[in-house]
C-alpha cells in the first residue's frame, strides 16, 4: 500500500484517452490522489485535472494503492499482469481481454497473488438497469422470454486501434459486451449463441455502423 497519503487512496491511472476523463472525474470526486502514466497525453490530462505524472510503470506501481487501466483493449492483459505482479488491485476497462482464455489467466493470476481485479462492467450499477434486474428477480414481470438490447455510441475515428478488429475485438467485443453482460445478469447463463454482423468487417476493419444480433 502507498504510504504517501495516510488515510487516503492513491490511484495509478494507465492511459490518457477518451474514457480516461470519465475515470479521472470519478476518482477526483472521491478525493483520491491520482497519478497518470501514458505513452501519449499524460501531461495534458494531468494539467487539466491536477494530477501527477508517473514517468514509468515501475514508478506508478511503487506509489499507488490501486491501478486503473484505460488503455486500448489489446494492451489490457499485459498491463493487468504487470499490476498484479506488483501486488496491486486493478480495475480494467472492458473488455478485460480479447479472449476468454486470457481473461481466465488474469483471474487466476490475481487469485494466486491475493489481489482483486474488477472488469469495468459499470452498467450493472446504473439505476435503471438495477431496477430492471430487481423487477425480474422479484417476479414482477414474469419469466423473460425475449430481451432486446440496443446501444449507440460515437466512434473515436482518430483512434486507429478502435476500428481494427484485431486490436479492439470489434463492435460486439468492445461495445455490445455491456449488453451481453446485462443479458446474463438478467436472464441467466448462455446455452447457445447465434450472431450476425451487418455490414461485415472488411480487411480487418470494423464498419462505421453495424447491427449485431445475438440470442
- Residue 6, pLDDT above cutoff 70: no
- Residue 19, pLDDT above cutoff 80: yes
175-192 pLDDT, tens digit each? 888 898 999 999 999 999
| Contact present, 201 and 165 (Cβ < 8 Å) | yes
Q: At 187, list the grid cell.
A: 436472464
Out of 20-29, 98-107, 202-211, which region has the weakest mean confidence (pLDDT)? 202-211
What are the C-alpha distances in Å from 20 to residues 72, 98, 163, 189?
11, 20, 19, 31
- Residue 104, pLDDT above cutoff 60: yes
- Residue 201, pLDDT above cutoff 90: no
- Whole-prediction pTM: 0.82
User: How much of the chain, in percent, has pLDDT values that exceed 70?
Assistant: 87
- Domain extent listing, the chain: 10-120, 123-214
What are the C-alpha distances in Å from 174 to residues 97, 111, 139, 151?
10, 25, 31, 11
In this prediction, residues 129-156 reach a mean pLDDT of: 86
Question: Which band of pLDDT confidence, cut at 50, 70 and 90, is reported for residue 102?
Answer: very high
Q: At 60, list the grid cell.
A: 506508478
| Contact present, 60 and 37 (Cβ < 8 Å) | yes
Q: Does domain 10-120 have CATH number 3.40.50.300?
A: no
What length does the chain have? 215
* Cα–Cα nearest to 177, from 137, 124, 126: 124
More confident residue, 58 or 200: 58
User: How much of the chain, in percent, has pLDDT values that exceed 90?
Assistant: 60
Q: What pLDDT was estimated at residue 158?
A: 57
More confident residue, 147 or 197: 147
Question: Which band of pLDDT confidence, cut at 50, 70 and 90, is reported for residue 35?
Answer: very high
Amino acid at each position: 500500500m502507498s504510504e504517501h497519503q495516510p488515510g487516503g487512496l492513491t490511484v495509478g491511472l494507465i492511459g490518457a484517452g477518451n474514457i480516461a476523463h470519465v475515470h479521472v472525474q470519478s476518482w477526483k470526486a472521491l478525493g483520491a490522489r491520482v497519478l497518470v502514466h501514458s505513452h501519449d497525453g499524460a501531461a495534458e490530462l494531468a494539467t487539466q485535472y491536477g494530477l501527477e505524472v508517473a514517468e514509468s510503470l515501475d514508478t506508478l506501481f511503487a506509489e499507488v494503492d490501486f491501478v486503473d487501466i484505460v488503455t486500448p483493449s489489446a494492451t489490457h492483459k499485459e498491463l493487468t499482469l504487470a499490476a498484479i505482479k506488483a501486488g496491486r488491485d486493478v480495475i480494467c476497462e472492458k473488455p478485460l481481454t480479447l479472449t476468454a482464455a486470457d481473461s481466465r489467466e488474469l483471474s487466476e493470476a490475481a487469485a494466486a497473488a491475493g489481489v482483486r481485479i474488477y472488469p469495468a462492467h459499470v452498467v450493472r450499477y446504473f439505476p435503471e438497469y438495477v431496477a430492471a434486474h430487481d423487477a425480474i428477480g422479484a417476479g414482477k414481470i414474469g419469466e423473460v422470454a425475449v430481451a432486446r438490447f440496443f446501444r449507440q455510441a460515437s466512434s473515436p475515428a482518430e483512434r486507429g486501434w478502435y476500428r481494427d478488429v484485431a486490436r479492439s475485438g470489434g463492435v460486439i467485443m468492445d461495445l455490445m459486451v455491456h449488453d451481453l453482460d446485462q443479458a446474463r445478469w438478467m436472464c441467466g447463463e448462455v446455452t447457445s449463441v447465434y450472431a450476425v454482423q451487418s455490414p461485415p468487417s472488411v480487411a480487418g476493419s470494423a464498419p462505421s455502423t453495424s447491427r449485431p444480433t445475438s440470442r
